[in-house]
Chains A and B, each alone.
Chain A
Amino acid sequence: MSSVALDAPAPVGFAEKIWRINWGFVLVLTAIAGVGVLALYSAAGGRFEPWAARHAVRYGAALGLMLVVALMHPKVWLALAWPIYIVSLLLLVAVDLIGKIGMGAQRWLVIGPMQLQPSEIAKVAVILVLARYYHGLRKEQAAQFLYTLPPLLVILVPVALVMVQPDLGTAMMVLMGGGAVLFVAGVRLWMFLAAGVAAVACLPIAWSLMHEYQRKRVLTFLDPDRDPLGAGYHITQSKIAIGSGGLFGKGFLKGTQSSLNFLPEKQTDFIFTTFVEEWGLVGACALLALFVLVLLWGFSIAFRSQHHFGRLLALGVTAMLFLYVFINTAMVMGLLPVVGVPLPLVSNGGTAMVSVMFACGLLIGVNVYRDAQLPRTR
């Protein structure tokens, strides 16, 4: 046995752990959730029912979960990474087989009183497994093509399962979130180029696999005026709402576009539009600044981690949060096709909230145990 213990820092006590939780970060998350409550209150026409009150309660519960997750030793996650991943795959298969049909796509699994969206779990699970995998590899190994095959499989299997649901937005998120971990783990750049070329080559196949409504959305994205009263309606109305908000917005509860039912899904995917119509460019930038703070915190945690697992995990979670925010906001501004990606902690929706807060818990956990000694297993 080696003498590892000699140069290891002293074990961290409980008080120290609590101290190491990034409380500023928690405050920023709470501020974002507060924006969510505000926006949902307005979306319901100035009422706490049916969304705002539940959103607040849900955030409170998820906050508790996050703190518990944050205090768990990373070796727990090392051990649980694969089991969580396997379970999420099984759930995805289950949802494909028996899932409830919602909005023309199967995404929910109803277990007792709650609706579960397994694709949300898969996002975190993929990052966990990839971090664990590269934690166990040496740099030279990480750079080799052969060692890149298993992680590719880890990413592509859930992507395929999510694609058949079909949920383009989540598939893109898993693909790009996983890709980000691969990138920082040291996979050669030419492989990313090759993947990019392959993706372009596969576009026609993807096109043939898409649902009619998805093709419509892509075509509409390319040319919104093509069908202004049909599929282009969402984007056009969302742009009108955002644009008419102007610099300072129309004021709280004074948004006309959302209240007169021009906006579809205004409490979920288009919540940013609802908020920005009333709070203007100033509000939008403030909200985005909060998210930028979250990302900066994520990067700094990743850089400070003494172990590779923590670095990769923190960066993967940060990349995932970025993708959420970017895809959602770019979509409602007409920069990306309309795909079902919620704005984290702001959109109404339970599973997304839990999975985002779980991921944030992992992130804080990396900071709490930044100097933990993790064996390089397998």
Chain B
Amino acid sequence: MKPFRKGDGERSGLFTRRALLLAGVQGVLLSALAGRLYQLQVLETQRFSTLAEENRINLRLLPPSRGLIFDRTGQPLAVNRNNFRAMATSDRGRGADVLVERLDQILGLGATERNRLLRDLRRSRNAQPVVVRENLGWEEVARLEFNAPDLPGVFIDLGQSRDYPEGELMSHIIGYTGRVADEDLAGRDDPVLQLATMRFGKKGVERSLEDDLRGRAGAVQVEVNAVGRVVRELDRTEGQPGSNALLTIDLDLQRFAAEKMKEHQSGSVVVLDVVTGDVIAMASTPGFDPSTFARGITQGEWRELLDNPERPLHNKAIAGVYPPGSTYKMVTALAALESKAIDPWTRLPCLGFLELGNIKFHCWLKGGHGSTNVVEAIASSCDCFFYEAARRAGVDRISDMAVRLGFGRMSELGLPGESAGNQPTRAWKQEKVGKPWQHGDTFNLGIGQGYMTSTPLQLAIMTARIANGGYEVQPNLLLAKATPREELTPPPARAKPTAPSLRLNPQHLALIRDGMKDVVNTGHGTANHLRQRDPALMFAGKTGTAQVKRITERERDMGITQDQLPWHLRHHALFVCFGPVDNPRYACAVIVEHGQGGGKTAGPIGRDVLVETIKRDPSRRNDRFRKMASR
């Protein structure tokens, strides 16, 4: 190794020479900077001061007009209304106290509004205008204009606010908009979102289609005077209004379904087109009034909505999770058939209960169904048959089939707040419960109880996939979108599903459909009272009654009936159906929370809604779509 200093002297010498040269260059460049500063700030300062004081050109964004939302027939669901609002700017919050005081005298703001306005004015960045009050009447506008000289920085702005003509009826699907929150900005650097008047989709379609509905901001170059008042407009670039959207919902049917649900406290109906996956109706009761959100909800109203046990803010069709009960038996049957655990001729006995070790698993029919095959078992909803079928197929095959039919995961609907429900598996139980899967769990799963939960939408998807011959249709809410309203037309009708096939044996699916047909159309079916005589309206279905609370042996012995239980402990009533029976086009799922009997409460709603859907089908095909009147 060489001594470290050898040769360092000459290196150091060269370094010093060149470093000094570099320092010299830097000195020259920095002097140039100083020279430039002198030129700008001393020689030309007069010119620039004039520019700064007198010719203040400001760039203001023009919020785009939000896209409108229509139902599939062209009836408006979300529109924009002209909204005169008072805006205020203040120079970094200076003079804000005086300004707010005067505004209070003129408009009568009240204490909370005064505080909000003061806070907004102080927080406003870059002298961006803040909203004083929205939806001004003519008199208020006149008073503000009259007092304009005393109100520096206050101006009237013509904006738009959202209006929902159908109100509560469409509240869960359309959702509502609100002020832009910080989390809304994530991943979106659209400067228009910084505007105080901008609204952002918070729930429903307003949220899921936010980036389509919003549009692009325009900009206007304005000359402003010393207090920020616009003196004149110099240049204007128009923005692009948001896309208008045509939903798959049939508003008239939606209204019909909601009417039918009104008789019950709380529940949900979903109607799907089994070929296209179009969501024709999706009602969840009770709903809420979206206009309270549009005008700004008060604390009290918000608390009231949150505390309501019927959960009006909750879209039960996609976010409510319930044990599917007997409506799940089609899954068990298909899993057993597809895995050859049973065949179409297998007959299984039912004595009214099945024993596993020392636990009794009861059938809903006390005396038992005797011996049934799969079609009869579905028709009469024999629990024992499905305990045994589930045992033979095993939890893995049942869960696998359930996932293929749409359970246990979110659909591609895209609405915020959707729940995936829970499709239990061995691994799931080990992880979440900490215990291995038991035979008894398989029995419970076989009849859609126990750990199994699903949403009404998932039940409708399952029914649709069975009805359409095993195609993996996905629910869909958006029929078309386009910015110019003339181009907003529905796509041509389809007769065949374009979704991929689930590759299920067509004969097995036919057996399941036969069982569901017999539920409604034979004497031993559990929903025989719903039968339609008109062949065009004949449909198939399956009832379900989901336990909320375990029935103890003691209660069973005492013969306590559901009516004697408090509302929140009663069974949920479920019904799924599809029709017309020979050429299925629509699937419907109904759940009435704590409605006790699936056939009794949910069934009639399902029948009425499905029959109405089928009746209206020709009109839907014949392109009932109307060109919308402007605004």
- Known A45-B93, A45-B125, A261-B127: A243·B33 in contact at CB below 8 Å: no
Interface string of A225-250 (1 = CB under 8 A from B): 00001000100000111111111000
A288 at interface (Cβ–Cβ under 8 A)?
A: yes
B139 at interface (Cβ–Cβ under 8 A)?
A: no
Interface string of A245-261 (1 = CB under 8 A from B): 11100000100110111
| B residues in contact with A245, CB < 8 Å | 41, 45
Say how far A55's CB is from chain B's closest CB, in angstroms: 17
4 shortest A-B CB distances, which residue pairs? A243-B48, A261-B126, A244-B52, A45-B92
Say how far B512's CB is from chain A's closest CB, in angstroms: 46
Q: Which of B44-76 contact A (CB under 8 A)?
A: 44-45, 47-49, 51-53, 56-59
Bound together, the chains give a CA A239 to CA B1 distance in angstroms of 58
| B residues in contact with A261, CB < 8 Å | 58-59, 126-128
List 19 A-B residue pairs with CB atoms under 8 Å apart, sorted by A's residue number. Answer: A142-B11, A183-B18, A185-B15, A186-B11, A239-B40, A240-B52, A246-B41, A260-B58, A260-B224, A260-B228, A261-B58, A284-B41, A295-B26, A303-B19, A322-B26, A326-B29, A326-B33, A330-B33, A375-B1
Closest B-chain residue to A326, C-beta based? B29
A56 at interface (Cβ–Cβ under 8 A)?
A: no
- Known A139-B14, A295-B26, A375-B1: A229·B221 in contact at CB below 8 Å: yes
Bound together, the chains give a CA A103 to CA B191 distance in angstroms of 11
B38 at interface (Cβ–Cβ under 8 A)?
A: yes
Interface contact B40-A243, CB-CB below 8 Å? yes
Tell me whether chain A's interface is mostly helix, strand or loop, or mixed: helix
B8 at interface (Cβ–Cβ under 8 A)?
A: yes
B4 at interface (Cβ–Cβ under 8 A)?
A: yes
Count of chain B residues with a beta carbon within 8 Å of a chain A beta carbon? 54
| A residues in contact with B41, CB < 8 Å | 242-243, 245-247, 276, 280-281, 284
Interface contact B37-A281, CB-CB below 8 Å? yes
Closest A-chain residue to B8, C-beta based? A308
| A residues in contact with B32, CB < 8 Å | 330, 335
Closest B-chain residue to A228, C-beta based? B57
Interface contact A243-B14, CB-CB below 8 Å? no
Interface contact A2-B26, CB-CB below 8 Å? no
Interface contact B126-A259, CB-CB below 8 Å? yes
- Known A4-B3, A260-B127, A260-B228: A229·B57 in contact at CB below 8 Å: yes
Say how far A236's CB is from chain B's closest CB, in angstroms: 9
B561 at interface (Cβ–Cβ under 8 A)?
A: no
| A residues in contact with B22, CB < 8 Å | 180, 183-184, 315, 319
Count of chain A residues with a beta carbon within 8 Å of a chain B beta carbon? 62
- Known A260-B56, A319-B22, A333-B40: A184·B33 in contact at CB below 8 Å: no
What is B's interface to A at a CB cutoff of 8 Å? 1-4, 7-8, 10-12, 14-16, 18-19, 22-23, 26, 29-30, 32-34, 36-38, 40-42, 44-45, 47-49, 51-53, 56-59, 91-93, 125-128, 189, 221, 224, 226, 228, 234-235
- Known A45-B93, A295-B26, A330-B33: A241·B59 in contact at CB below 8 Å: no
Bound together, the chains give a CA A4 to CA B36 distance in angstroms of 53
Closest B-chain residue to A237, C-beta based? B57
Bound together, the chains give a CA A2 to CA B6 distance in angstroms of 12
A53 at interface (Cβ–Cβ under 8 A)?
A: no
Partner of A259 from B12, B34, B91, B189 at Cβ < 8 Å: B91
Interface string of A298-338 (1 = CB under 8 A from B): 01001100011001100100010010001001100101000
| B residues in contact with A335, CB < 8 Å | 32-33, 36
A297 at interface (Cβ–Cβ under 8 A)?
A: no
Interface contact B189-A262, CB-CB below 8 Å? no
Closest A-chain residue to B13, C-beta based? A139
Interface contact B3-A281, CB-CB below 8 Å? no
| A residues in contact with B12, CB < 8 Å | 308, 311
Interface contact B33-A308, CB-CB below 8 Å? no
- Known A244-B49, A261-B126, A374-B4: A186·B33 in contact at CB below 8 Å: no
Interface contact A256-B52, CB-CB below 8 Å? yes
